[in-house]
Structure 1
Amino acid sequence: MRISVIIPVYNAEKYVSQAVESVLQFDEVHEVILIEDKSPDQALQVCEKLSRQYDRVQLYQHPDKGNHGAGPSRNLGIEKSTGDFIAFLDADDYFLPNRFDAERELFKNPDVEGVYGALGVNYYSEKAKEQYYSLFKDKLTTVYKRHSPEEVFPGQLHMLGSFGLFSIDTLTIRRESLMKKMKPLFKSTLRLHQDTEFLFRLSYYLDLYPGILDKAVAVRGVHEDNRITVVDSKKVNPAITRVLLWKEVEEWAKKENTIPDHVKLHIERMHRSFQIANATTSKKWGMILKYLVKDYQSIRSGIYNINFRENLF
């Protein structure tokens, strides 16, 4: 295996060295590609030092040296990659020694186009734990049972009951399959949830298989300066970002002729549910009454969706 690991770097001067060193422990890693995204801290200088220190570490910036977000940064990393497989890592997270144990065996089968595993959590400070323990707790982010590839896409769309989640940090993909079947790659229209939207489409086009699900293969590092801090500080409304996510998914599904109509309808209802949840109270009831008249099943599906119920009022 020749794996290219892509790490977008933004505001992570304290953590990127740990991320890189956690990747370099694997002989299978052909290259570590750092995409520095105009960080406000000293991350660029740290990345330059890492690229000088390690032959396998390559450093790039966007052509205009600007800030473009994690999605376009990952796209640039994919463009620059030369490995047969691609893995991703956020700059404040890190891999564990078992990260590619399942992949070594599974990718012997040419039908396996991607492998996903479980993600753990580490709080870098007590303050970070106080802020975000209610969100992440000490649980694994994982898929709860071993699903066949054709179940991964509907599972992520909440169509199979309690499916669970997997993180992009735990995903490894055949580069050839990715480049042949995924256009576009990560979308630049989403600043948040772009990895979720990418995983939806990826699981539709590629055959993804479960790797290690009962223990972490990578770790999410939680600190006060995580991207989620922006959401928490109200600079970004999390309800609005979910509306935008499902809008993107719905627009893609409408254009994809091979998606069954019942799946398209489910995606439309998810988008509608978040639209209603994000509306003002008066507008919310107006939308509910409208859809009760026009499409009872649609609003009913929203009311019984846990995400919608939690954000209704």
Structure 2
Amino acid sequence: MIKVSVIIPVYNAEKYVSQAVESALNLEDVYEVILVEDKSPDNALQVCQELASRYDRVKLYQHPDKGNHGAGATRNLGLEKATGDFIAFLDADDYYLPNRFDAERELFKTPDVEGVYGALGVHYYSEKAKEQYYSLFQDHLTTVYKNHPPEDVFPGQIHMKGSFGLFSIDALTIRRESMIKKLNPFFKTHLRLHQDTEFLFRLSYYLKLYPGIVDKAVAMRGVHEDNRITQVDSRKVKPSSTRVLLWKEVNHWAQAEQSIPGNIKLHIERMYRSFEIANAPLLRKWSMIFRYLITDFQSIRSGLYNINFRKDLF
């Protein structure tokens, strides 16, 4: 058995948070569930208070000013309060499956293992949600397609390894001591979206992450009509601008990190440029395309390999 602190940021999730909490409490490896309520507009705070009073392992926190600070700051507060040897995250509208920590229990016996990632499945909370978002998620796993050594995880995450795949923060478990020692800051609080993706990029660079169960789900993504990130991914909200901010942040970090090899820095810079082009107004877009076709064709080539860039180009 391992000693896991599960951090659940709570915002506008009164319908779902009880299921999330109970799915974690059902697992013997869960030492504590840390709820951080982020000034929800619904009755989520009341539901969290009831959960904290009902279960000894559930601890409830809010930001000191009781305000809304976004998912990054909310997860950071949870990390400050966590006391377990290992950290896992869970969105308030998602839930764990019974096999969630089966691989971790064995892998973390090796001190060299600093993190373990698994596969995420999909659960549609209603027929309407399935109708709206099935084309986006279908019934596919979010997973890494085969076992990779830790040194391949960062290049895979930034799209340097072809069809590497993805893992979700819901299916990740981290050795707390390693994260505290090697990752600073944790989540970037000025990123309102994709702060978890940026966190995973840096985490996979600094920590040795190993595959756990990647051929079947260990947690489930709950899809409903009000998912903000789902609306972005499905293009109900234009995604390019948020991805520009993400890759701008990643590029800024990569250029400042002396240990990152030059070819990887260049690849990240080109990914940033490709999204910057896709998000530009039409006239500026074409002037940028023309300039990079002459000066740095790889920036265009990097974008054309990315499906979101191709969708947003015109």
Q: How far is 1:311 from its partner?
A: 1.9
Counterpart for residue 282 of structure 1: 283
| TM-score normalised by the chain length of structure 1 | 0.97
| Matched residue, 2:67 | 66
Distance 1:273 1:267 in 2: 10
In the TM superposition, residue 151 of structure 1 has moved relative to its aligned partner by 0.2
Q: Where do 5+ consecutive residues of structure 1 fail to align?
A: none
> Could you say which residue in structure 2 is the equivalent of 1:224?
225
Q: Do structure 1's residue 87 and structure 2's residue 104 form an aligned pair? A: no
SS of the residue corresponding to residue 183 of structure 1 reads coil
CA-CA distance at 1:244 after TM superposition: 0.5
Distance between the aligned counterparts of 2:30 and 2:139, measured in 1?
29
Equivalent residues of 2:10, 2:17 under 8 A apart: yes
SS at match of 1:91: coil
Q: Structure 1 residues 256, 186: closer, same or farther in 2, change over 3 A?
A: same
Structure 2 distance, partners of 1:204, 1:87, is: 18
Aligned to 1:73, the other structure's residue is in SS state helix
Q: How does 1:231-246 map to 2 (within 5 A)?
A: 231=232, 236-246=237-247
Distance 2:239 2:73 in 1: 21
Q: Which amino acid aligns with 2:119?
A: A
Task: Name the structure 2 match of 1:148.
Answer: 149
Distance 1:304 1:124, change over 3 A: closer
1:271 partner SS: helix
Secondary structure of 1:127's aligned partner? helix
- Structure 1: how far apart are the matches of 2:230 and 2:153? 30
**1:28-76: CA deviations, max 9, x gaps?**
1111000000000000000000000000000000011011111111100
Q: 2:223–2:230: 8 Å Cα contact kept in structure 1?
A: no
Q: Aligned equivalents of 2:28 and 2:214: distance in 1?
A: 23
Amino acid at match of 2:153: V
* AA in 2 matched with 1:41: D
Distance 1:71 1:289, change over 3 A: same
User: SS of the residue aligned with 1:297?
Assistant: helix
Aligned to 2:295: 294
Change (3 A) 1:304 1:23: closer
Which residue type is aligned with residue 74 of structure 1?
A: R
Which position in structure 2 is the counterpart of 1:76?
Answer: 77
- In structure 1, what residue type is equivalent to 2:139? D
Gaps of 5+ in 2: none
- Give the superposition deviation at 1:235: 8.3
Mark the CA change 1:93 to 1:109 in structure 2 (over 3 Å): closer, same or farther.
same
Alignment of 1:255-266 (within 5 A): 255-266=256-267
Matches within 5 A, 1:117-136: 117-136=118-137
* 2:9 partner SS: strand
SS at match of 1:132: helix
Q: Percent identity?
A: 77
Quote the Cα distance in structure 2 between the aligned partners of 1:127 and 1:297.
42
2:177 alignment partner in structure 1: 176
Match of 2:22 in 1: 21
Report how many residues are paired.
313
Tell me the CA shift for residue 310 of structure 1: 2.4
Residues of 1 paired with 2:181 and 2:294: CA distance? 44
Specify the SS of the correspondent of 2:100.
coil
Q: CA RMSD in A?
A: 1.4
